[in-house]
Amino acid sequence: MTRYNAPLEIHVHGEVALRADVSFDQLQEALKPLWKYAGGRSLSDGATSVYEEEPGIRFDAPGHLLQMCWTVAGDDDFRQVLDEVAMSLNELSERGAAIEVTFYDVEFDEDDEDDARDEDAESRDDFVMLFIGPDPAAIMQVQRDLLVQDVVAMMERHFDGAELGGVVNEIDKLFSLRFDALANSLELGRPPRGSGGPGGAGHGGGGRRPRHLH
């Protein structure tokens, strides 16, 4: 449904590599929480951004890519939509990806322009990263790469990039520990081998470890 006087403008930006066998119908179903939130009756109907200059939500079938530069009016309930979409996109993704979601407080901006009548008012602006991937290792790889980029960019103000190899190694160690902990926790939920029971968690301890890129 159309949201009049919505307190937030929510911008979703990112690109997700999809498996080669993913069809438009599958993607449309995975993104259903998004286009329904925008008041659409289908992906094509709800893929248009509130801003004409933004391309919206696009499916590049030849390139097997989901591309998003899309803004919708809404509220904090959109966060639940993100959780639902992430779960569905995980099943369709080819590799890890990060989607940026920015919440702009429209009401705060209007109040700020008119007057400062409420000194205790706080903006609801927010920024979150939504991580997508076919398995935990792929998701951790994207998280690791973004963290390395941020840390290196900050520290290069004071050090030469060639001096930061040790910092990157420490970040890799932290992610290796996190991956091992996750793998062990999933392994505990699996039935013993040869027990004849049903399969365990979809992404168990046998998943690949994130690459250590230097």
Residue 214 is predicted with a pLDDT of: 35
Cα–Cα distances (Å) from 134 to 18, 58, 94, 142, 152, in that order, read 10, 20, 6, 12, 27
Predicted local distance difference test score (pLDDT) of residue 3: 62
Torsions phi, psi for 5 (to 5 deg): 55, 35
Quick one: tokens of 69? 């530069």
- Summarised one tens digit per residue, pLDDT across range 16-38 is 999 999 999 999 999 999 999 99
Do residues 141 and 178 make contact, with C-beta atoms less than 8 angstroms apart?
A: no
CA angle 20, 21, 25 (to 5 degrees): 120
Kindly report, residue by residue over 114-165, the tens digit of the pLDDT: 554 455 567 778 999 999 999 988 999 999 999 998 999 999 999 998 888 9
Q: pLDDT tens digits for 95-121?
A: 999 999 999 998 775 545 455 445 556
Q: How many CB atoms sit inside 10 A of residue 138's CB?
A: 22
Please give the structure tokens belonging to residue 153: 């960019």
In this prediction the pTM is 0.75
Question: How much is the pLDDT for 199?
Answer: 36
Q: Which domains, from first to last, does the chain contain?
A: 8-134 (3.60.90), 135-214 (no CATH)
Higher pLDDT, 129 or 180: 129
Give alpha helix (H) positions in the chain: 24-30, 32-37, 43-46, 78-92, 106-114, 136-155, 165-188
Where does the pLDDT of residue 6 fall: very low under 50, low under 70, confident under 90, or very high at 90 and above? confident
Asked if residues 94 and 75 have their Cβ atoms less than 8 Å apart, the reply is: no
Flag whether pLDDT at 68 surpasses 60.
Answer: yes
Quote the distance between the C-alpha of residue 13 and its chain's center.
9
